[in-house]
Each structure stands twice: as structure tokens, then as C-alpha cells.
Amino acid sequence: MVKQRKETNGVMRKTVNTAHQEPETERRILQSAEKVFYRQGYDGARMQEIADEAGINKALLHYYFRSKERLFDAVFSDAVMRLVPPVFAVMNSNSPLMDKVRAFVDAYFNTVVNNPFLPGFVVHEMHRNPSRFSEIIRASRLLMLDGLQHQLDLGAESGELIAMPAEQFMLNLLSLCAFPFVAAGAMQSVSGKNDSDYQHLLEERRQFIPQWMARMVERDASSNQQC
Amino acid sequence: MVKQRKETNGVMRKTVNTAHQEPETERRILQSAEKVFYRQGYDGARMQEIADEAGINKALLHYYFRSKERLFDAVFSDAVMRLVPPVFAVMNSNSPLMDKVRAFVDAYFNTVVNNPFLPGFVVHEMHRNPSRFSEIIRASRLLMLDGLQHQLDLGAESGELIAMPAEQFMLNLLSLCAFPFVAAGAMQSVSGKNDSDYQHLLEERRQFIPQWMARMVERDASSNQQC
DNA sequence: CCTTTGTTTAACCATAAAGTTAAACTATTT
DNA sequence: AAATAGTTTAACTTTATGGTTAAACAAAGG
């Protein structure tokens, strides 16, 4: 009785096999891993699936990235670095508060519209292993709320703004931006909207969020009444 | 050479083994499964871990719930039913808009403070399998936005409120309530807050969210200026 | 044409996890 | 106290998956 096995499942990609093309292949692996990890999460992802997606063999995955853990690390820190810095960098500038908000929303939506699974992925994997994430953030020295708090305090003193902790302000902004993406799958399936309807809803939010944020914090909110 | 295995890992609970106590055991299994699934998600959860947590053997799990899938289904629909109906029921009443908002926030926080992993769990599992969720929701006939939209339209006509699609209104409310829980692990690890600090932050939000929602949508927001 | 070097693969291995089974145990009934 | 029916268990089987290996392959240089 001969034991026989075939692990490569049916898909049978066009095997290009042009040897000596290392960087091209590595990039393709990362892209495929991204796709699979984003959708399935670490635990749900299968190395075989990533290999298939990249049109290569499982062993090659281990040749480039020694283990699932390492491959995941590469994908995850890449994801975080792509999402977090451009978005939070604007909060450390010294532009007026509402300019910051507009810049934040724009940066967030620009990044995320092209990677709609990214927020959900990051949130879930942070939950699975919070320290991994905080390491990355700490290393990149982002998200200092001191400047923002100072700005809010000044506005409150001058009577222009309502007093508010910077943390709450930031959490509001992030909630309004991120949650609709994090919960997109659910929202769609409940509301019965199709993909492009929901896309439209999100575009609408991109316009409104800065106005909403202004109305939440500005003492005289009558300047933002068209909505 | 004798093959020998022990699957029960070390913990060694006090085995109570009082036969004929079916309902008690089933409840305990569900509680344990809940705990494990909430923290680890479906893919990350291990049947053995659930059995250990419940102080019983793996086979008993399969005796009560035929498979991991079925056990998960029980836990998930239980979770959704515990979270969704009390929260969304209030939106279908005919109380004034801001009473609804306050009731929603209270209901949400009351449910979630006792099950802080619930929102993240639901969101992640909905993402993994959206149809499962929409089935449950559809079956329970919740989340009709028509009444809310009508209310918003009336307010807009009378000049009291700013015109706003009910979907956006609802999404704002849900975002402000849910996201801080969904992303709690991440937030904590980034902000360096400990558990009780973050708990305090969340309590603070419970107070503020109704005011923020009012300021976002009410034309004359000066009545909600203490913040 | 042969060798070398980097690339790719199928087949294999080890392990962990889901699921099954047959026997033992406990309490209740007779 | 013996039989019965409802519980509980250890040990086992099967399958899936991460990881390894030895050999084949392609291209470049001699």
C-alpha cells in the first residue's frame, strides 16, 4: 500500500518559474499574505492558502519567511506602519484644531478606502496580542496627546471651545472614522446595502465627520449648520 | 512500546461529579465556552480549553454540543441576543429623540460593562461570517430605521434639528458607544492606561455621549454646553 | 557541454486539535 | 442490594496544518 499525497490543491496557476527574481517573489508573497491575513486573521489563515494565492509552494514561503509567525509579523507591522503614521502625524503639527481634524479624516479615509479590511484586522490582532502593537507604536514615537490637550485648553479658556479631555476628543474622532469600516461586513448584511451603497455611505461620512467634530466641541456651532 | 496519552492538562479541578444535573452542567459549559470564544475567537479557541475551563472532559462537550461549530453557534446567537435586542428595542419606541439616545447609551453600557469582550467578539465573528449574523437579526425583526428617520425629518422641518440620514445618525451613536470597547486592548496598550483608568474613561463617555449626539444634530446646541 | 548557484518543487514528518468509543461511575428505582 | 438510566471519563482515531528535506530545475559563467 503506497501512501500518496498531493497538497497543492487544484487551482494550478500558470507557473512562471523564472528563477533569479527574488524581490518580485517576496513582494508577491507579502501581498498574498496580506490578503489572507486581513480576511481570516492569524488563527484563521492557512500557510497553504497564502502559497496558493501567491501561485507558489508552501516550502517557498518558509524559504522566504521562516515561519508563520515571522510572515505575520512582517504583514502586521507593515499594516500598522501604513495606517498609523500618516494619520497620526497630522495631530502633532501646530495647525488649527479643525484643520487637524480635516487632515486626519482625509488621511484616514485615503488609506483605508484602498484597504477596507485593514482596520478590522488591526483591531482584532491588537486584541489577540496588545503588546506587539504597543511596541510598534512606542518605537515610532507617535500619538502624543499633550499638544492636542494644550490646544483644547486654550480654546476652552478663550470661550471658543467646550472643555474636553484630549483622550475623549481623539477617541471620538477615531470612533467616527474607524468603526464603520471595522463593522462594515455586519452593517452591510444588516442594512441590506450592497457594496457600492455602503461605499457611498462612507464617502458621505468623510464630508460630515469634520462638521460633526466641530459641532461637538465648538461653543458656537451655528457656523456648521449645513448638513 | 506502549502508546500513552493524557489530554487533560494539569489544572485538575475539584471533580464534583454529581450525576443527573444536566441543566447545571450545560449552563456551565456555555459560560466557559463564552469566556474562551470571547477572548480567542472561533479559530483561536480550543475545545480542550473550554472543557478545562468548565472542569469537565472534552467528550462531554461533544455529548452536550455535537461539534465546535454548534457550540459556537449557541454562544454566538446568545451573545447577539443579549447585546442587540435590549439596545435596539429602545430605538423603535416613540419617545423623544434624545430620550432614545440616552436609553440606548444606558442599555449599551449596562450590557457591555459586564461583558467587555462582547463587542469585539461580535464584530470579528460577523466579519468572518456576515450571513450568520444577518440571519439572526432578520429573524428577530430589529433595527428598523424608518421611525427614526421620520423623527429626524420632523425635527428638521420644524427647524429644531439639522437634516441627517438616520443611517448616519445611528452609525454615529453606535461608533461612539462601541468602538472604545472594540479597540480597548489597543487603546490601553498605547495610552499606557491600566484597566481601572480605562474603565474610568469609559464611564466618563457614558455621561458625555448623549450630549455629544445632541450637539451634533440639534440646531441650537447651546443648551448642552456643560462638558 | 559541464559546473555552479540560486530557486522551486513534491513528498514527507510531527504534532495538535476535533471528534469517537467503550467502559466505568453515580444516583435513583425497584 | 440489584437493575437501570443518566453522566462522566480515559484512551483512541482521524484529519489538518506548520514545518522540513532531498532532489530537480533554470540560468549564467566557464
Asked whether the beta carbons of residue A180 and residue B175 sit closer than 8 angstroms, the reply is: yes
Using the structure block, give the residue that is written with the C-alpha cell 467587555. B116
Residue A14: is its pLDDT beyond 70? no
Contacts of A142 (CB under 8 A, 6+ apart): A84, A85, A88, A89, A92
Mean pLDDT check: name the lowest of A25-29, A85-89, A106-110, A152-156: A85-89
Q: What pLDDT is stored for residue B160 in this prediction?
A: 94
Q: What's the rounded mean pLDDT across residues A33-60?
A: 92
Among B41, B175, B186, the residue with its CB nearest the CB of A176 is B175
Q: Cell triple for residue B105?
A: 447609551
To which residue does cell 480635516 refer?
Answer: A102
pLDDT band at A6 (very low <50, low <70, confident <90, very high): very low
User: Does the beta-carbon distance from A137 to B190 stay under 8 Å?
Assistant: yes
| Nucleotides of strand C within 7 Å of the protein's CB atoms | 6-12, 17-22, 25-28
Residues 21-80 of B with CB under 7 A from strand C: 45-48, 58-59, 62, 66-69
CA distance B214 to B97: 9
Residue type, A63: Y
Nearest CA-CA partner of A60 in A13, A22, A14, A9: A22
Mean pLDDT of B85-112: 90
Say which residue, A127 or A192, is predicted with more confidence. Answer: A127
Domain A76-219 indexed as CATH 1.10.357.10 = yes
Q: Is the CB of A3 under 7 A from strand C?
A: yes
Residue A78 has pLDDT above 70, yes or no: yes
Query: Please, what is the average pLDDT of chain A?
Result: 83
A193-204 in b/e burial notation, b at 16+ Cβ within 10 A?
A: beeeebeebbee
CA of B84 to C1' of D17 (A): 36
CA distance B20 to chain A (A): 37
Which pLDDT score is estimated for A88?
Answer: 79
User: What is the average pLDDT score of chain B?
Assistant: 83
CATH homologous superfamily of domain A20-66? Answer: Homeodomain-like (1.10.10.60)
Q: Which pLDDT score, from 0 to 100, does residue A22 have? A: 62
Instruction: Tell me how many degrees the CA angle B148-B149-B152 measures, rounded to the nearest 5.
Output: 90
Closest CA relative to residue A146, chosen from A136, A157, A158, A154:
A154
- Residues A75 and A136 sit within 8 Å (Cβ to Cβ): no
The answer on pLDDT for B226 being more than 80 is no
Give DSSP secondary structure letters for B22-68: HHHHHHHHHHHHHHHHHHHHHHH--HHHHHHHHTS-HHHHHHHSSSH
Distance linking the first and last C-alpha atoms of chain B: 74
Amino acid B21: pLDDT: 60
Is residue A168's pLDDT more than 90?
yes
Q: What is the pLDDT of residue A44?
A: 95
Say how far apart CA B76 and CA B136 lie, in whole Å: 10
For the segment B58-69, what is each residue's pLDDT rounded down to a tens digit? 888 998 998 999
The pLDDT-based confidence of A18 (bands split at 50, 70, 90) is: very low
Q: Maximum CA pair distance of chain B?
A: 86
Give yes or no for residue A72 having a pLDDT over 50: yes
Looking at residue B22, what is its pLDDT?
62
Lowest-confidence region among A10-24, B13-27, B113-127: A10-24
Residues 6+ apart with CB under 8 A from B184: A127, B116, B120, B198
- Domain made up of B73-218: CATH architecture: Orthogonal Bundle (1.10)
pLDDT at B6 (0 to 100): 33
Q: Output A187 or B142, whichever has higher pLDDT.
A: A187
Q: Of A128, A182, A226, which has the smallest distance from its Cβ to B182's Cβ?
A: A182
Paired strand residues for A161: A218
Q: What is the pLDDT of residue A142?
A: 64
- Tell me how far apart the alpha carbons of residues B170 and B186 are, in angstroms, rounded to a whole number: 24
Per-residue model confidence as pLDDT tens digits over B135-189: 777 777 666 788 899 999 999 999 999 999 999 999 999 999 999 999 887 777 7
- Range list of H helices, A45-91: 47-54, 58-64, 68-89
Q: Is the pLDDT of residue A81 over 50?
A: yes
Which tens digits make up the pLDDT trace of A19-38? Answer: 456 667 888 899 999 999 99
pLDDT of amino acid B141: 64
Q: Which of A195, A117, A188, A198 is nearest to B134 (CA)?
A: A188
Orientation of helix A22-44 relative to helix A47-54, angle to 10°: 150
Nucleotide whose C1' lies closest to the alpha carbon of residue A46: D17
Q: For nucleotide C20, give the residue with the nearest CA to its C1'.
A: B59
At B225 the three-state DSSP class reads: coil
What are the sequence ranges of the domains in chain B? 21-66, 73-218
Dist CA B169 CA B88 (whole Å): 14
CB < 7 A to strand C: residues 48-67, chain A: 56-60, 63
B43 closest-nt by C1' vs CA: C17
Reduce the DSSP state of residue B172 to 3 states and report it: helix
Residue with cell 461586513: A185
Match 439639522 to its residue by C-alpha cell.
Answer: B162
Grid coordinates representing A12 are 494550478
Q: Which fold has domain B21-66?
A: Arc Repressor Mutant, subunit A (1.10.10)
Q: Quick one: which residue's CA is nearest to D9's C1'?
A: B57
Bridge partner list, B161: B218
Give B203's pLDDT tier (boundaries 50, 70, 90).
Answer: very high
Question: If you average pLDDT over each of A139-153, B123-137, B202-216, which comes out highest?
Answer: B202-216
Helix, strand, or coil (residue A161): strand
